[in-house]
Amino acid sequence: MHTLRLILGDQLNHKHSWFQKVDNNVTYIIAEMKQETDYVKHHIQKIVAFFCAMRNFSRELTQKGHRVIYLKINDPKNPQDLTKVIQYGIDRANATKFEYLLPDEYRLDLQLNNTCKSIKLQTEVFDTEHFYTSRYEVKNFFANKKSLIMESFYRMMRKKHHIMVNSGQPEGGKWNFDQSNRKKWNGEPEIPHERGFRKDVSSIFDDIEQVDINYFGEIDPTNFNWPTSRSDSLSVLNYFVQNFLVHFGDFQDAMHTDQHFLFHSRLSFAMNSKMISPKEVIDKVLDYYYNHTDAIHISQVEGFIRQILGWREYMRGIYWKEMPNYANLNKLENSNKLPDFFWTADTKMNCLRHSIKQSLNEAYAHHIQRLMITGNYALLTMTDPDEVDAWYLGIYIDAIEWVEITNTRGMSQFADGGIVGTKPYVSSANYINKMSNYCKGCHYSHTKKLGENACPFNALYWNFLDEKRNHFENNNRMAMMMNLLNKKNKRELEDLKTRAREIIEHPERF
Ligand SMILES: Cc1cc2nc3c(=O)[nH]c(=O)nc-3n(C[C@H](O)[C@H](O)[C@H](O)COP(=O)(O)OP(=O)(O)OC[C@H]3O[C@@H](n4cnc5c(N)ncnc54)[C@H](O)[C@@H]3O)c2cc1C
Ligand code: SF4
């Protein structure tokens, strides 16, 4: 009996039990496919990063003695479609059995289920051995509970995995140090250089250029700056704990025109492609912290661990709990077009120009840029969540649907009506000015609500609350905002709404 095993581009888990023993009766198949580059328009760096990581992974398996069929994107034999790739592998390896790892995306799960029915071979599916939780653990945890609040899941995870917990109580006396994680960065403390890679990925880029892929974004193929192997990933992690962890929590919400990464880890691609596991990341962070408790405060560590043990596992669980319906939710009934400047960064609004330009150049923006700049603007302008999702799924190096859609449609756009978040993340210029230096160099004045140089976020904010008031009137967490709205002078509100309409109808003027 010979077995064909499929490895998808986001299943590059070196530590998986599959790879611990060389078996001549097993052939692995890994394929770069147009099916995966074309389901949405992608940033070129995202395509290159995946192909580069896949090629490195395949090389390492081959070096260890495993049999691997690798199909490059420009290989004339490449069928470019997953079902056909599997059939090609079965024929070439003369396989009598087909095995695959549980995919993390609903569309691939469906496709693989259907493929298994059609190929008429014995098939078996295995866990990816990556996450802390199983696919339906979050669903089971919240069964019969009224609210799906992340915090309760996070506390359970801390206790279950014995992470910063003593006798059932949180270390440092608190489960959550979020309140102390809100500092603006004003040039200090100094930010160490990022852990750069500067790789030459020209050969991969040339292969992509030979086939007809409709990508966007910038790339310098001789100077590629993302971790694309296991050793790269481990070195990003080591560099993070030694240099950035000490200030991670304090400045995780800060934004700055000159500093794109601040104290963020840039580990999302390495983790989402599974080159490194969340447990390895958390174990390393804790190990470093416990050896440096004199230098690192627990709030920095808790802030980081919450993102991975809490949010990342939670979002995956919500995805599998709510799909496929989640992908169509539009509870606020938003239908406006995403402005063209999301693809060009050609806008006078400094916060948007910087966040979008950085995303186009680097395929990266950190969480608050995604949530409170681009996401905030898209929601305030009542943009169709399908368009917003497609943009986020295409542009970011780490965007895979299970974590993209729950963050975008859920946390950012409130299109799920409150499954992920209890209130929409919207703000006027006030918050942006508090957390960044964007407003300082802006064409618009963050303090002005009306007039030609008034910040567009201000009019949009009040207009949004007014337009969507029927959705929020019974939401306790919105009570303060709705009270302020209700106290607004009628004439002023009308003027704000007129300006908001102009911004929404003519984004090119702003
Ligand atoms: C609108 C929107 C879309 C997003 N899309 C994605 C996406 O497609 N892929 C993705 O991995 N993250 C996404 N995020 C979450 C977050 O922005 C990124 O994980 C983070 O910016 C990656 O950079 P980093 O590795 O430097 O993260 P750090 O700030 O260093 O955080 C450490 C890790 O925590 C995890 N994490 C942090 N926040 C979240 C979160 N909200 N949900 C899940 N994991 C989290 C990530 O794995 C990240 O690598 C999105 C957030 C928003 C608001
Ligand atoms: S003034 Fe308004 S548009 Fe300009 S940077 Fe500040 S929030 Fe953004």
What is the per-residue pLDDT across 421-465, written as a single tens digit (0 to 9) for each? 999 999 999 999 999 999 999 999 999 999 999 999 999 999 999
**Distance between CA atoms of residues 82 and 77, nearest Å:** 13
Q: Does domain 3-126 have CATH number 3.40.50.2000?
A: no
Beta strands 165-166 and 26-31, pairing class: unpaired
Best residue for ligand 2 mutational test, from 438, 445, 509 (most atoms within 8 Å of Cβ): 438
431 lines ligand 2 (CB under 6 A): no
Task: Evaluate whether 149 touches 422 at the Cβ level (below 8 Å).
Answer: yes
* Interval 395-408 mean pLDDT: 98
What is the per-residue pLDDT across 273-324, written as a single tens digit (0 to 9) for each? 999 999 999 999 999 999 999 999 999 999 999 999 999 999 999 999 999 9
Angle at which helix 456-467 crosses helix 490-505, to 10 degrees, equals 110
Task: Evaluate whether 5 touches 29 at the Cβ level (below 8 Å).
Answer: yes
**CATH 1.25.40.80: which residues of the chain?**
137-327
Using only the alpha carbons of the chain, give its radius of gyration: 24
Amino acid making up residue 164: M
438 lines ligand 2 (CB under 6 A): yes
Residue with the smallest CA separation from ligand 2 atom 7 is 429
What is the fold, at CATH topology level, of the domain defined by 137-327? 1.25.40
Residue with the smallest CA separation from ligand 2 atom 6 is 439
Residue with the smallest CA separation from ligand 1 atom 47 is 268
Q: Does domain 333-509 have CATH number 1.10.579.10?
A: yes
Best residue for ligand 2 mutational test, from 256, 257, 349 (most atoms within 8 Å of Cβ): 349
DSSP-assigned states of every residue in 300-316: HHHHHHIIIIIIIHHHH
pLDDT of residue 451: 93
Task: Evaluate whether 347 touches 456 at the Cβ level (below 8 Å).
Answer: no
Best residue for ligand 2 mutational test, from 380, 453, 455 (most atoms within 8 Å of Cβ): 455
Which atom of ligand 2 lies closest to the CA of 429? 7
What's the 268 CA to ligand 1 centre distance in angstroms? 6
Counting ligands in written order, the one closest to the CA of 255 is 2
Task: Quote the pTM value.
Answer: 0.97
**Distance between CA atoms of residues 57 and 316, nearest Å:** 24
DSSP-assigned states of every residue in 257-289: SS-SSTT----HHHHHTTSS-HHHHHHHHHHHH
What is the per-residue pLDDT across 12-66, written as a single tens digit (0 to 9) for each? 999 999 999 999 999 999 999 999 999 999 999 999 999 999 999 999 999 999 9
pLDDT of residue 8: 98
Residue 165: HSE in the Cβ half-sphere, 13 Å Cα cutoff: 15
DSSP-assigned states of every residue in 67-111: EEEEE-TT-TT---SHHHHHHHHHHHHT-SEEEEEPPSSHHHHHH
Residue with the smallest CA separation from ligand 2 atom 2 is 455
pLDDT category at 174 given cuts 50, 70, 90 is very high
* Structure token digits, residue 119: 């190929």
**CATH 3.40.50.620: which residues of the chain?**
3-126
Q: To which residue do tokens 């449609």 refer?
A: 409
Task: Evaluate whether 461 touches 427 at the Cβ level (below 8 Å).
Answer: yes
**CATH 1.10.579.10: which residues of the chain?**
333-509
What is the per-residue pLDDT across 206-226, written as a single tens digit (0 to 9) for each? 999 999 899 999 999 999 999
What's the 451 CA to ligand 2 centre distance in angstroms? 14
pLDDT of residue 120: 86
436 lines ligand 2 (CB under 6 A): no
